Structure 1
Amino acid sequence: MRLAFIMSELGSGLRRNLTMVISVILVTFVSLTFVGAAGVLQMQIGQLKGFWYDKVQVTIYLCTDVPTNTNCVSGPVTADQKATIQGLLDSPAVKPYVEKWTFESQAEALTHFKEQFANSPMVDSVEAGNLPSSFRIKLTDPEKYQIINESFSATPGVDSVVDQRKVLESLFSWMNIATIVAVGVAVLMIVCAALLIATTIRLSAQSRAKEIDIMRLVGASKTVIQLPFVLEGVIAATIGALLASGAVWAIVEFFMGGYLANGNTGTPIISTTQALVIYPILILLGVVLAGIASAVSLRKNLKV
């Protein structure tokens, strides 16, 4: 009986306040889309950091079949040249600056490339021979990169010496700024959504003041009286959260996985599968937001 009454009141409230409910859905949709976009951007930053960013500070790329400088005019790096480079890494002149190093073969480079660029259309067109083998070096002091560069850049068999962190530092800085901006806008929109939900619930309660008085007289509990109003906000916010989840999926699928992946074949892009973790968070956030806003509004404006 109580459940039927609550559902009846809920339906009545949704019909009477349809315009406000739609407003709540739209504001929740926009605010949670910004939240989801910020989450996707952080996931993309993590994807870009990938396999080596947190582990490698300097990479010594070795010569391949395609020479790019005078060190490689004699062809691909030889076994003797690799041994010479390894010996130099372990020499007293260089070793104090090197915390650890690893060698990555062309086959291993291809495996890591496929892991990092799994969502890129170029992944199937790259072969091991297209990628250079390399020594991956972690420095004891990242500021000593120039010492490694000077020690190895002219060594036979070395194609280039790259400080990977320097290459990506500015990119990640801009992406982190973009994330902060997205989060700031999301917080502002969430505040607007909470205020709109609270206003909607208050107006809905005021429009049914006589019905509420009758319910009090017949001994209805606070829960029975307040629950239909709370559910109005929760349902509207949940619909908005579902729409936001759909929008985030579309961003990842069509913009990032489609447009960006096709236009930037050298950039690893997150997939819709990786973004799945964001959707339940958005829905939960919408439900919690509506529940809290509705409960606070009822406590202040509906004395039961």
Structure 2
Amino acid sequence: MRAQFVLSEIWIGLRRNLTMTIAVITTVAISLALFGAGLLINQQVSEMRGYWGERVSLTVYLCNDTSPSAICQESGAASDEERQAIQSQLESMPEVAQVTFMTESEAWQDFQDRFSNSEALVEATEEGDIPANFRVQLQDPGDHDTVAGAVAEMPGVDSVSNDQEVLDQFFELLDGLKWAALVVAAVQLAAAALLIGNTIRLSAYSRRRETGIMRLVGASNFYIQLPFLLEGAIAGLIGGIFASGFIVATKFFLLDKVQDWFQFDVTLGMGSVFYVIGVSMILGVLLCTIASFLTLRRYLRV
């Protein structure tokens, strides 16, 4: 009997404040969707940092007959002695885990394999355009400046390319996207809390006669407050359900597309998606319930 009464009170509250309830659900859904997207991007960035942190490398390009740098044009193509000196220097450094030498033909073939999806770029590159080079795997990605500085000025070296610099720029972009989503989500969550508080306050005011009668018959404070708390919780739950669709879309239409564009396999599993959805829905329910409780303490004198 009491459960039926509570359910009827919830239904009355939702129906009387339908417009405000829809506004609350919409705001909660948007804020939780942005919050969940931020969490997903954060997990993706963490996975990618770990994946590429183990694979980051330096590429030491040697001078050849077509090198545009002034040093190479003055000294000519790197000799076998210069190449051996560079290799010995790299292999003697404790910061270096592995050194692999690639001839011009091997470097050109590797370039074709890496950019096989960009036909125009592959067709515009000929054998010899990419000089012979050393692929240097580091013990610690943070040592790239030390290793690069040790060989950059050696005879026969054209340039030193650092994968870490490219990755840092890419991660900065993703970090910016993550923080932008989280900041907007925080603003939206604050707006949702204010909306749910205002909705509950109006609901309590419109039912002040019913709550007065309940007090007269000896109903407890919690029993009187329960319908209003459940109204907020239901609004948060519905908003979380709508937000979950956006979170799934973020995974398949944003993060998976990034994987396709950059051709690396660090895909987030559905377990991560369900975790983010669960956290977002719990946050939505707690936010609306707490906002309702705080509002009731101020406007519902029981």
The interval holding the TM-score normalised by the smaller chain is: 0.7 to 0.9
Following the alignment from structure 2 to structure 1, what is the Cα–Cα distance between the partners of residues 169 and 154?
Answer: 25
- What does 1:1-304 correspond to in 2, within 5 Å? 1-53=1-53, 55=54, 58-60=57-59, 70=64, 87-91=88-92, 95=93, 98-102=94-98, 134-138=135-139, 141-150=143-152, 154=156, 162-257=161-256, 259-262=257-260, 264-268=261-265, 270-271=267-268, 273=270, 274-304=272-302
- Classify 1:149/1:249 alpha carbon distance in 2 versus 1 (closer, same or farther; 3 Å): farther
Quick check: 1:34–1:182 contact (8 Å CA) kept in 2? yes
- CA distance in structure 1 between the partners assigned to 2:148 and 2:205 by the alignment: 72
- Percent identity reads 35
How far off its partner does 1:101 sit?
1.1
Q: Distance in 2 between matches of 1:279 and 1:244?
A: 8
Alpha carbon RMSD of aligned pairs, Å? 3.4
Give the partner amino acid of 1:144.
T
Distance of 1:152 and 1:24 partners within structure 2: 65
Q: Which amino acid aligns with 1:19?
A: T
Counterpart contact for 1:253–1:272, Cα < 8 Å: no
In 2, distance between residues paired with 1:47 and 1:69? 36
Aligned amino acid, residue 148 of structure 2: Q
Report how many residues are paired.
Answer: 255
Normalising by structure 1, we get a TM-score of 0.72
Q: CA deviation at 1:198?
A: 0.4
Q: In the superposition, relative to structure 1, how do residues 7 and 174 fare at CA in structure 2: closer, same or farther (>3 Å)?
A: same
1:276 Cα shift?
2.5
- Which residue identity is paired with 1:10? I
One-letter amino acid matched to 2:208: A
**Is contact 1:253-1:271 (8 Å) kept?**
no
Cα distance change of structure 1 residues 251 and 133 upon mapping to structure 2, 3 Å threshold: farther
Alpha-carbon separation, structure 1, partners of 2:300 and 2:200: 10
Secondary structure at the counterpart of residue 139 of structure 2:
strand
Q: Which deviations, in whole Å up to 9, do the C-alpha atoms of 1:146-198 show, x marking residues without a partner?
A: 3344388958xxx9954222122222223222222221111110000000000
Q: How many Å separate the matches in 1 of 2:154 and 2:3?
A: 77
Q: Could you tell me whether the CA contact under 8 Å between 1:56 and 1:138 is conserved in 2?
A: no
Aligned partners of 1:214 and 1:26: how far apart in 2? 33
Shift, 1:103, TM fit: 6.6
SS at match of 1:51: helix
Return the alpha-carbon distance in structure 2 between the equivalents of residues 192 and 282 of structure 1: 16
Larger displacement relative to structure 2 (193-202 or 11-20) = 11-20
CA contact (8 A) 1:234 1:290 kept: yes
Change (3 A) 1:225 1:17: same
Residues 5 and 83 of structure 1: is their aligned pair in 2 closer, same or farther, counting only changes over 3 Å? farther
**1:46-101 Cα shifts (integer Å, max 9, x gaps):** 23324232x56533589xxxxx9859xxxxxxxxxx9998754343xxx2xx3351
Equivalents in 2 of 1:242, 1:138: separation in Å?
Answer: 45
Using the size of structure 2 for normalisation, the TM-score is 0.72
SS where residue 59 of structure 1 aligns? Answer: strand
The ranges of structure 1 where at least 4 consecutive aligned residues each deviate by more than 6 angstroms after the TM superposition are: 82-86
Q: Gaps spanning 5+ residues in structure 2: where?
A: 66-82, 101-116, 118-132
Preserved contact between residue 96 and residue 136 of structure 2 (Cα < 8 Å): no
Q: Which amino acid aligns with 2:20?
A: M
**Against the structure 1 CA distance between its residues 251 and 141, is the aligned structure 2 distance closer, same or farther, given a 3 Å change threshold?**
closer
Distance apart, 1:251 and its partner CA? 1.8
Gaps of 5+ in 1: 63-67, 72-81, 105-121, 123-131
Task: State the alpha-carbon separation in 2 of the partners of residues 241 and 2 from structure 1.
Answer: 28
Asked if structure 2 preserves the Cα contact closer than 8 Å seen for 1:57 and 1:164, the reply is yes
CA distance in 2, matches of 1:102, 1:252: 35
Change (3 A) 1:148 1:268: farther
